[in-house]
Amino acid sequence: MEKDLSNYRKSYEKGELLLEKVPENPLELFQKWFYEVDNHFVEDETNAMTISTIGLDGYPKNRVVLLKKYTYEGFIFYTNYNSEKGKAIEANPNVCLSFFWHGAERQIIIKGKAEKIAENLSDGYFESRPRGSQLGAIASNQSDIVENREFLETKLFNLEQEYQGKEIPRPLYWGGYIVKPVEMEFWQGRPNRLHDRIRYKLQEDYNWQINRLSP
């Protein structure tokens, strides 16, 4: 099988990112971009992000998860702690997040360290989820081999009967991580492949060093 993609071309012309106009804190720029994409490019799932981990087999692995909250401290998402990504984070908390908003021709790449959030925060978010999502978190031993889909659907059905009319407790193996950034890069597509790239690097005094990178 072979397909030549060398003629796939696109000119990026929707914006610019100038060093003299960026804020001192990258979280402020993140918030600005997030709001702009969320309000003007509805075709993008704004909070969808790729998280990259180093697996126990030594290989990096990417997958898309949903950002559920961001603060000046970092970026929060939820998962099964016993999943492949959870085990990878336990062994090596250095991760990379990336957002690609094709409508706005923008990317953000975030290097940081992931750590579990407080249990009461995970409890609060779990309680806010639809019952189907709550039961799904219990029904799925995430990343384990499963014989077929019917096995999962039967397990979910049995849980629906078990918890009918009852509160569903958060399983202890399911909860949130916060990724605390040490480096954030903002990429704005520009014509002729001369894209704008602005990188923030966290310094020992907790200030951010800001540089323009060659595209």
Q: Which residues are catalytic?
A: 193
Angle at 63 between CA 115 and CA 122, to 5 degrees: 35
The SS3 call for residue 133 is helix
44 φ, ψ to 5°?
A: -85, 140
**121: which residues sit within 8 A by CB, 6+ positions away?**
176
In this structure, are residues 75 and 67 in contact, taking their beta carbons and an 8 Å threshold? yes
Tokens representing 98 are 């990336």
